[in-house]
């Protein structure tokens, strides 16, 4: 894998540009984030091929892939395994679970995972369960980390992506578990950015709980 000389080891921050890299995948060579310019993409790492929890996650992502595409997003998997291992694992999932993995999986030698902070120093060379959501401009917008022992919720990743897309389109923020908020009777309401002037604050009264906690329907 070739990578930018400025690519540093460590966890990037939300708001950083995704590092420019060329990677080998089950769909051939790819350049990230360039090949997805103008699209969202969801990159998720797994500890290793042919492991039970990872298999359940890949099946979950594959079954929801159309919903990710409907939001303008592509899926990409990654682990420190060779590409032939990925191909064999995809074949196994197809043959035994009757699920087609139609998104690329990156074959990483370790540099890519280290650059994105995906390798846990206490867990050997295996990658942690990381999720990166990257926007159409190549900016990292969300990062989630799970330990090896805990499988991810694909529905949560999809919900977070939908929330980001909606936030960008509408200029609003999302409450807890949007669109199914459970803490307050907000249902599918969204949150209007807080007022920053006295006049704005006056206009916001009656739009929710208070001028600093204003809500509306989409």
For tokens 């997805």, name the residue: 36
Pair type for strands 73-79 and 105-107? parallel
Instruction: Write the CB contacts of 34 (distance below 8 Å, at least 6 apart in sequence).
Output: 20, 138
Token pair belonging to 27: 């769909």
Contact 38, 144 (CB under 8 A): no
54 an active-site residue? Answer: yes
Q: Which of 21, 54, 107, 130 is catalytic?
A: 54
Cβ–Cβ contacts within 10 Å for residue 22, how many? 15
- The Cα–Cα gap between 217 and 192 comes to 10
Token couple for 209: 């709980």
DSSP string, 176-196: TTTTS--SSTTTT-EEPPPP-
* Catalytic residue ranges: 54
């Amino acid at each position: 894998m070739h990578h930018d000389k400025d690519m540093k080891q460590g966890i990037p921050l939300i708001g950083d540009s995704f590092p420019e890299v060329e990677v080998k995948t089950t769909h051939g060579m790819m350049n990230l984030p360039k090949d997805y310019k103008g699209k969202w993409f969801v990159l998720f790492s797994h500890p290793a091929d042919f492991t039970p929890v990872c298999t359940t996650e890949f099946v979950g992502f594959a079954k929801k892939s159309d919903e990710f595409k409907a939001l303008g997003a592509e899926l990409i998997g990654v682990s420190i395994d060779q590409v032939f291992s990925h191909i064999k694992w995809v074949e196994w999932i197809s043959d035994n679970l009757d699920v087609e993995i139609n998104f690329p999986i990156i074959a990483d030698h370790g540099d890519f995972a280290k650059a994105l902070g995906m390798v846990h120093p206490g867990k050997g060379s295996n990658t942690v369960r990381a999720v990166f959501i990257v926007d159409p401009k190549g900016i990292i917008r969300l990062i989630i980390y799970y330990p090896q022992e805990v499988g991810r919720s694909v529905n949560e990743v999809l919900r977070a992506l939908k929330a980001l897309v909606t936030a960008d389109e509408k200029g609003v923020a999302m409450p807890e578990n949007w669109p199914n908020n459970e803490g307050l009777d907000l249902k599918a309401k969204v949150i209007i950015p807080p007022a920053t002037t006295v006049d704005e604050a006056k206009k916001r009264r009656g739009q929710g709980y208070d001028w600093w906690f204003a809500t509306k329907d989409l």
